[in-house]
């Protein structure tokens, strides 16, 4: 078990115990936005509780397709909390002079190198090959670049960037002998459609080997002004969200229909298989700070603009 995951389980256990003693929240609905993907898989149980009016406080949830759709609303004060990429939280923190802070890590890496070529079973087999991927100039490229560099493969691998994961998955479906970087749940969907397609490398493990720290890609970001004015509401959300993450990981069969209902996976069976590989966590404290700092430092070294020009200082981390 990775240290980050072990720590997150400890935090989750505490959050579940503390749930009944959560502080009273403010009465206005807390406005929360999340991205369409693995990040929201950990949120769907709380969304369901909110829909059935069994949550500890009222919420207004929004699920969107791209981070850009969240950023402007968060900065403008139209959102209170957002589940976004870690590096985007850093960009917004720098852009707003501390107006956005990171409260928790909620997703480790969800990227995998896959192929239907039986001769490709490890990173070294990528030498001389082309790898399909998405995310040029964003986290997927930075992660892949670091892994290839650490493995001495930078000059030996050509990366063919496409606009979306759906496009990469479609190419792999037609030409399964290709090599591709895919996130969940596309990995599970591709493997279900073609049993020859297999995981060549988990980029979480490859990143850990390359950097010595956990890959932390998703986070809970809070608008600082809102958190300062409504700390009880933020505390209740974090407690309920931690419990929701635990429910997703511990009861995949029960949460799978909720994931499908939010268009996060095409079927319940895919959702059940994808959850363990989505690396959904709830991580706070020193372990989160150390992993986030290490991750942002790697991104900064590759492209300072990817973190907003500078790696954030200690004030970036919201203390509940």
Query: Which residues in the chain come in under a pLDDT of 50?
Result: 1-24
pLDDT in tens, 18-30: 444 444 455 789 9
Which residues 6+ apart lie within 8 Å of 124 measured at CB?
151, 153
* pLDDT of the residue at 71: 94
Q: pLDDT tens across 192-219, in order? A: 999 999 999 999 999 999 999 889 999 9
Contacts with 156 (C-beta within 8 Å, 6 or more apart), sequence order:
126, 127, 128
CA distance 40 to 264: 8
> What is the pTM assigned to this prediction?
0.87
Sign, CA dihedral 183-163-104-253, equals: negative
Q: In CATH terms, are 3-109+215-316 and 111-211 the same topology?
A: yes
Q: If you write DSSP's letter for every residue of the chain in order, what string do you get?
A: --HHHHHHHHHHHHHHHHGGGPPPPPSSPEEEEEETTHHHHTTHHHHHHHHTT-SSS-EEEEEESSHHHHHHHHHHTS-SEEEEEHHHHHHHHHHTTSSEEEEEEEEE--EEEEES-TT--SGGGGTT-EEEE--TTSHHHHHHHHHHHHTT-GGG-EEEE-S-HHHHHHHHHH-TTSEEEEETTHHHHHHHH-TT-EEEEEHHHHHHHHHSS--EEEEEEEEHHHHHH-HHHHHHHHHHHHHHHHHHHH-HHHHHHHHHHTTSSSSHHHHHHHHHHHTEEEE-HHHHHHHHHHHHHHHHHH-GGGGTSS---GGGB---
pLDDT at 37: 86
Dihedral, CA atoms, 232, 221, 39, 57, nearest 10 degrees?
A: 20
Q: Do residues 101 and 231 touch, judged by C-beta distance below 8 A?
A: no
> How is domain 3-109+215-316 classified at the architecture level of CATH?
3-Layer(aba) Sandwich (3.40)
**Per-residue pLDDT, 26:** 58
Write down the pLDDT at residue 39: 86
268 φ, ψ to 5°? -65, -40
Tell me the β-bridge partners of 182: 112
Write down the domain spans for the chain.
Answer: 3-109+215-316, 111-211
Give the architecture (CATH level 2) of 111-211. 3-Layer(aba) Sandwich (3.40)
Q: How far apart are CA 281 and CA 221, in angstroms?
A: 15
Q: What span, in angstroms and rounded, lies between the C-alpha atoms of 14 and 79? A: 27
């Amino acid at each position: 078990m990775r240290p980050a995951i072990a720590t997150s389980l400890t935090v989750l256990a505490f959050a579940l115990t503390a749930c009944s003693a959560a502080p009273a929240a403010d009465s206005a609905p807390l406005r929360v936005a999340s991205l369409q993907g693995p990040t929201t898989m950990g949120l769907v149980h709380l969304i369901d509780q909110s829909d059935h009016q069994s949550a500890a406080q009222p919420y207004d949830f929004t699920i969107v397709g791209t981070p850009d759709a969240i950023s402007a609303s968060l900065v403008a004060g139209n959102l209170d909390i957002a589940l976004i990429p870690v590096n985007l939280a850093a960009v917004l923190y720098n852009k707003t002079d501390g107006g956005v802070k990171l409260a928790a890590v909620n997703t480790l890496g969800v990227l995998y190198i896959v192929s239907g070529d039986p001769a490709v079973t490890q990173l070294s087999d990528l030498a001389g090959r082309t790898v399909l991927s998405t995310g040029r100039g964003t986290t997927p490229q930075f992660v892949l670049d670091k892994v290839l560099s650490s493995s001495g493969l930078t000059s030996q691998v050509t990366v063919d960037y496409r606009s979306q994961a759906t496009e990469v998955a479609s190419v792999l479906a037609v030409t399964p002998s290709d090599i591709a970087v895919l996130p969940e749940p596309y990995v599970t969907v591709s493997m279900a459609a073609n049993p020859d397609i297999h995981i060549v490398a988990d980029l979480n493990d490859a990143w850990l080997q390359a950097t010595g720290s956990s890959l932390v890609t998703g986070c809970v970001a809070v608008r600082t002004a809102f958190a300062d004015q409504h700390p009880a509401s933020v505390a209740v959300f974090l407690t309920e969200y931690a419990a929701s993450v635990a429910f997703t990981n511990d009861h995949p069969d029960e949460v799978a229909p909720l994931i499908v209902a939010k268009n996060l996976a095409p079927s319940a069976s895919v959702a059940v298989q994808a959850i363990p590989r989505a690396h959904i966590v709830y991580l706070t404290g020193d372990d989160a700070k150390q992993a986030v700092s290490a991750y942002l430092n790697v991104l900064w070294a590759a492209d300072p603009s990817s973190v907003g020009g500078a790696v954030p200082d200690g004030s970036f981390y919201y203390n509940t």
